[in-house]
Amino acid sequence: MVQRQICVIGAIGSQRAGEAFSSDYDLPNDTAYVESCASVGLMMFARRMLEMELDGRYGDLMERALYNTVLGSIAFDGRHYFYVNPLEVHPKTLRYNGIYNHVSPVRRRWFGCACCPPNIARLCTSIGHYIYTASTDALYVNLYGGNRVAISVDGHALRLLS
């Protein structure tokens, strides 16, 4: 998936039909489905993988998905969302070409199938579980952002403020 099915912004799901992957490297800038929920799910998957195998690639994947797609899919007011996140949108063309029926040029307040807004909110409110990964003798920083943490690593109490 990471080698052949992911956009540079950490978004996955290249086609609307089945909200699915297609062939390798098929990542159309303007018609890709790249749903917000897919990037939330990608972060959940990468975190689980990171818990099983301390490999920085999983942290990098979470970083790509969070800072580009997940946070980009919600407006600063926290009330408007992108359901899909194609890299390229031509607003004047959308209504004249059915291949863009799933694309919106602006974030919307709600959707008929409203999976993305609560998934984004759930991820944002649980972001503390993604920032660090602790092992028995080390603390790994996966994401950057202002936070505080108090944690015990190898019997030593750590308090971090960033």
**Amino acid (one-letter) located at 37:** C
- Residue 11 in the binding site for Zn ion (CB under 5 A): no
CB of 54 to Zn ion, least distance (A): 30
Q: Does the active-site annotation cover 115?
A: yes
* Contact between 76 and 156 (Cβ < 8 Å): no
85 CB-near residues (< 8 Å, 6+ apart):
9, 11, 34, 35, 36, 39, 69, 72, 73
> What are the C-alpha distances in Å from 39 to residues 23, 61, 62, 134?
19, 10, 9, 23
* Chain residue at closest Cβ approach to Zn ion: 37
- Residue 20 in the binding site for Zn ion (CB under 5 A): no
- Residue 116 in the binding site for Zn ion (CB under 5 A): yes
Quote the tokens at residue 93. Answer: 């063309």
With CB under 5 A as the contact rule, which of the stretches 27-35, 56-64, 68-76, 135-143 interacts with Zn ion?
Answer: 27-35
Give the interface size with Zn ion as a residue count (CB under 5 A): 4
Options 7, 35, 113, 115, the catalytic residue:
115
Q: Which residues bind Zn ion (CB under 5 A)?
A: 35, 37, 115-116
